[in-house]
Amino acid sequence: MDQNNPSGVSTKSNQQMQMQEGESDGDFLLRLFEAYYDRIYCFARKSAPPEVAEDVTQEVFLRLLQHPRFNTLQLTSSYLIKIAHNLLRRRHSRWVKLQEILDSIAAEQASNRRRETHTLEEDEDSKGRIEGAMTGLNTAERDALELIICRGLSYQQAAKSLNTSITTINNRKYRGLQKLKQIHEQTEDLRKRA
């Protein structure tokens, strides 16, 4: 029995792991992956389906490798689980926002159906209005909305994709949503007056 661990219970999951001298980033990441993969996957699996838990677990190690001070960090399973927790939270927030948008669109469509009978031409007109509203945005705002809301990319991924900063992506998304709201409100006002 170990004097430092009289209970005999493994404390490997609570130990800090640090890059050893002469060890490459890849070798250190592989050691971390082998030591913590199952624990992080089980944590993510409590909140998400298997395929999402797998994606989140892999994303944890990818984020870790992209960390600017990766080779000097002293890592514990708690640190990695916190990364997974944040990724799950962001994914959930994006899903909730998208669901709210889809619900508001569905409510608007249901309301429109109650007021009038839709014909094929009217449906095409609705699609044209949405496309028209999107053309009211500049290219940067439209790209930011498509990447973040439609494709579900993170701000960091969208920024990298568009070769710009996260702050810029956030500003473009915000301005694009504000413009779409204005266009929608103006369109609704015109329809009510007609």
What's the pLDDT score for residue 177? 87
Residue 88: count other Cβ atoms within 10 Å of its Cβ.
19
Q: What is the CA radius of gyration of the chain?
A: 24
Give the range of the structural domain holding residue 54, as residue numbers without chain letter: 14-87
Looking at the domain assignment, is residue 4 inside a domain?
A: no
Looking at the domain assignment, is residue 109 inside a domain?
A: no
User: What is the residue-wise DSSP string for 58-120?
Assistant: HHHHHHHHH-TTGGG-EE-HHHHHHHHHHHHHHHHHHHHHHHHHHHHHHHHHHHHHHHS---H
Looking at the domain assignment, is residue 7 inside a domain?
A: no
* Higher-pLDDT residue of 114, 55: 55
Looking at the domain assignment, is residue 105 inside a domain?
A: no
Looking at the domain assignment, is residue 3 inside a domain?
A: no
Q: Which of 77, 76, 72 is nearest to 21 (CA)?
A: 72
Q: Are residues 187 and 128 in the same domain?
A: yes
Q: Which of 46, 41, 13, 154 is nearest to 90 (CA)?
A: 154
Per the structure, how many domains does the chain have? 2
Q: Are residues 126 and 187 in the same domain?
A: yes
Name the band, by pLDDT with cuts 50, 70 and 90, for residue 56.
Answer: very high
Q: For position 63, which CATH number holds?
A: 1.10.1740
Looking at the domain assignment, is residue 52 inside a domain?
A: yes
Q: Which of 170, 176, 177, 183 is nearest to 100 (CA)?
A: 177
**What token pair was written down for 94?**
């994006």
Q: Are residues 134 and 72 in the same domain?
A: no
Please write the tens of the pLDDT for every residue from 122-159. Answer: 556 666 666 777 778 888 888 888 888 878 889 999 99
What's the CA gap between 103 and 63, in Å, rounded? 32
Give percent of the chain with pLDDT exceeding 70.
Answer: 82
What's the pLDDT score for residue 130? 64
Please write the tens of the pLDDT for every residue from 67-87. Answer: 888 778 788 888 899 999 999
Looking at the domain assignment, is residue 104 inside a domain?
A: no
Last residue of a domain, one of 87, 102, 129: 87
What's the pLDDT score for residue 119? 56
Looking at the domain assignment, is residue 1 inside a domain?
A: no
Strands 17-18 and 74-75, sheet pairing: antiparallel
